[in-house]
Amino acid sequence: MTNTYEDKTVLITGGTGSFGKKMGRRLLDRGVGKVIIFSRDEAKQHFMRVEFADPRLEFHIGDVRDRQSVDHAMGGVDMIFHAAALKQVPSCEFFPLQAVWTNVIGSANVIESAQARGVKSVVCLSTDKAVMPVNAMGMSKALMEKVAQASAKRSPDTTVVSSVRYGNVLYSRGSVVPLFVDQIMHKRPLTITNPDMTRFLMPLEVAVDLVEHAFNNAEPGDTFIRKAPASTVADLAEAVRQLMDAEDSPVQNIGVRHGEKLYETLATIEELRHAEDMGDYWRLQMDDRGLDYDQYFSEGEEQDLTSAEDYHSHNTERLDVQGTKDLLLELPEMHQAIAEWKAVRG
């Protein structure tokens, strides 16, 4: 099997985050020539530089909102994993224009810069919240997907631009599992918004696999999703309590936060009609029609949607508490948290 990354130069925007660090490790293990970490936080870059201690890592301070700084990082790049984003739902609700600047305009800067320099492939990281969005973060990510598809339509022969969607990445920065662990460590109640709320669950390793799958299989404008299980928030909290041997830690319902849904959707009926089932993945193909809609004024397109439904966290494989525990035990961070809690308790 050919090594895709050997001697290549790969740019990761937002590269000091959970995804960037995991992907960076994988690239270095595969013999990559250079990994360019592009982000705006010099402290995180410093800690990552010390942690990795690999001369193939090159760090660029910059912001995807600033096209010039993006251009400066683009020299000699073969492929890009675009992970830079504002991702917290509540903060995007209060500052929606900031979400637009980073998630929409910043993404356009990355894509257009890549196309101008003949980069082979750009994979943009999206989210289930982009499907039928009810919050500013999801809306801005949905627009990012549209920007990627529009760019693919305009210049399909220069750079393959594609996207991936996934749900909650377990133990990523700012996610709920490390919050539960921290609450147990500090002997505070585990806070949940609605016990019946469901969320897709995906280990970070699987999310990285999805992004690699997109790079290796994408046609211009494709969006890939990984089929994934889900659990209720209540079962997720209970799974963490049992694994930490902290069943005496209370659970507190705090109510639904700004912009939250009862369940998240990864693909709509309409998208699945044209999707390619690739086993563990779906390839969602973009609508590549032009702007001439005359043919649809008098005659539309036939659609049989009688037996179809959206793919969401209420109708995917549902994990019970034990199944959720088994999934959490795949995470090295969970084992570390359990060991630290045992040491604290003596």
pTM as predicted:
0.91
Query: What residue has token string 């995804």?
Result: 19
Which DSSP string corresponds to 101-151? IIIIIHHHHHHHHHHHTT-SEEEEEEEGGGSS--SHHHHHHHHHHHHHHHH
Q: Which residues contact 93 (CB under 8 A, 6 or more apart)?
A: 135, 136, 137, 258, 259
Query: Is residue 66, in this structure, part of any structural domain at all?
Result: yes
Q: Whole domain around residue 104: which residue ranges? A: 9-166+204-227
pLDDT at 275 over 90: yes
For residue 157, the model assigns a pLDDT of: 76
Q: Mean per-residue pLDDT for 237-253?
A: 94
Report yes or no on 132 lying in a domain: yes
Within a domain: 87: yes
> Does some domain include residue 95?
yes
**Mean pLDDT score of the chain:** 92
Q: Does residue 17 lie within any of the structural domains?
A: yes
pLDDT at 10 over 50: yes
pLDDT band at 1 (very low <50, low <70, confident <90, very high): very low
235's enclosing H/E stretch is helix 233-243
Q: Which amino acid is at 14?
A: G
- Residue 93 falls inside a structural domain: yes
Alpha carbons 131 and 69: distance in angstroms, whole number? 31
Per-residue pLDDT tens digits for 329-342: 999 999 999 999 99
pLDDT at 268 over 80: yes
Tell me if 58 is assigned to some domain.
yes
pLDDT at 69 over 80: yes
Top pLDDT among 4 and 313 is at 313
- Please tell me the chain's helix, strand, coil percentages from 3-state DSSP, rounded to the nearest 5: 40, 20, 40
pLDDT of residue 161: 96
Q: Could you tell me if residue 276 is inside a domain?
A: no
Report the candidate in 320, 302, 298, 102 with the shortest Cα–Cα distance to residue 230: 320
Beta partners for 168? 201
CATH number, domain containing residue 113: 3.40.50.720
Q: Which of 8, 129, 261, 325 is catalytic?
A: 129
In the chain, the number of structural domains is 1
Respond yes or no: is residue 129 known to be catalytic. yes
